[in-house]
Amino acid sequence: MRQRERRRRKGGKDLPALHVACLYGELVSVKNLVEARPWWINSSDSQGHRPLHMVLFSRISPNTSACLTYLLEHEADVNATTHSGQTPLHLAASKGLLNCAEILVKAGADVMTEDSMGHTPLDLACIWCHRKVARYLRNCLWQEDKKREMEERKLVQGLYRDLVNTVKQTTNDRKALVNEKTAEWANKKGLPLVKDFSSRVQRVSQYHARCLLPDQTRYKPKQSKGQPDNPQKERSTQPAASSTSPWSIFMGLQPEKPPAEPDLRDSVTLWRDANSRQLQYSSKWDEVPHPIPKLPMDVVERVLFPRAFPSRIATLRQFEPQNIDKVHHLGRPRGRSTSPWTEVAMHLAEVLEPGHY
């Protein structure tokens, strides 16, 4: 106890008992103190350090990861900040503690938080040359950005579906109104209603399909002399049609057609507000501006106007591998090179660009 009190008063600083136990990685003492006084787990010292911060100062102790995991399991604040704005992840990154950084991120530590000087944990890992921690945090940032982008894309996809449904509903309402007005006009003039010829078109197509069958062709071979005139026997030798649809010839894979997605270029207008720099849209049936999720302009345009900005992979057949000889190389002219120095010259033109030497 005297040694612990000496540690607490070292340098003129009074540290709570739990802070001292975490500073030296005494796992048994940490467990006893947390069980006796659970409210100490998020207590602060004069500089704003909490027990979770003090654990990361004990990098020499073999119990650092165990103490950190124990505190997190007992509801320690993983994003607690000191007076200088540093979180436990900032300390783990600045000291190169990869295992502790992984534990903190899995517990929900904010990778993008900044301290009072504007430094993120990744910045501190780069400043102190901890490559492994920097690579791990950069990967976490990439995952976080992609997750946020996917959530915003889902919002834009939902907006796109709502706008398409609105366009369809508006078109149906317009057609119904035209039919109603046409019926009123025809009733006043004493004219019969306009008939729907869709069923007649279907009947005609069925008759045309029957005309294409082999037994319905006009050409009939002439009978030779001496051959019995027995049309019933002649008909029996011909193969019977197996279906009522015309015959087709399939030559391997048929070309796929890209999906016909509705385009909203004629109905929706996009622009960026001059003051807030936020994307907004208005429609021809609703001129009130509406905000759009924070995404780049090209991403929103690709979602709302798919025909104006087609995808690079429109159909499933474009996933098929290509012959590498037919793929165009950016640093090499098309066709066969007559001289080996041509490729050398193209390589030098890429390497010795202005600003690269």
Whether the per-residue pLDDT at 131 is higher than 90: the answer is yes
At 256 the pLDDT is 53
| DSSP character string of 268-314 | EEEEE-TTT--EEEEETTEEEEEE--S--HHHHHHHH-TTTS--S--
Q: What is the mean pLDDT of the chain?
A: 76
Sign for the pseudo-dihedral over CA of 291, 296, 297, 298: negative
Domains of the chain: 2-129 (1.25.40.20), 147-187+263-311 (no CATH)
Over residues 156-164, the mean pLDDT reads 86
pTM of the model: 0.56
Alpha-carbon span 338 to 335, nearest angstrom? 9
At 340 the pLDDT is 61
At 330 the pLDDT is 55
DSSP tag of 79: T
- Give residue-wise pLDDT tens across range 27-67: 999 999 999 999 999 999 989 999 999 999 876 678 899 99
- Give residue-wise pLDDT tens across range 264-280: 888 888 888 888 888 88
- Give residue-wise pLDDT tens across range 286-341: 778 888 877 788 888 888 888 787 766 666 666 666 666 665 555 555 555 556 66
**Phi-psi region at 17: left, alpha or beta (left = phi > 0; alpha = psi -120 to 50):** alpha
DSSP tag of 47: T
Which among 235, 185, 184 is positioned nearest to 214, based on CA atoms?
Answer: 235
At 230 the pLDDT is 52
- Give residue-wise pLDDT tens across range 214-226: 544 444 555 555 5
Over residues 224-233, the mean pLDDT reads 51
Local structure of 29: helix, strand or coil: helix
Out of 120-124, 186-190, 194-198, 328-332, pick the least confident.
Answer: 194-198
Q: Given the DSSP bridges, would you call strands 268-272 and 286-291 parallel, antiparallel or unpaired?
A: unpaired
Over residues 100-129, the mean pLDDT reads 94
Residue 55 identity: V
Torsion of CA 242, 246, 252, 254, to 10 degrees: -130
At 70 the pLDDT is 95
What is the distance of C-alpha 275 from the center of its chain? 29
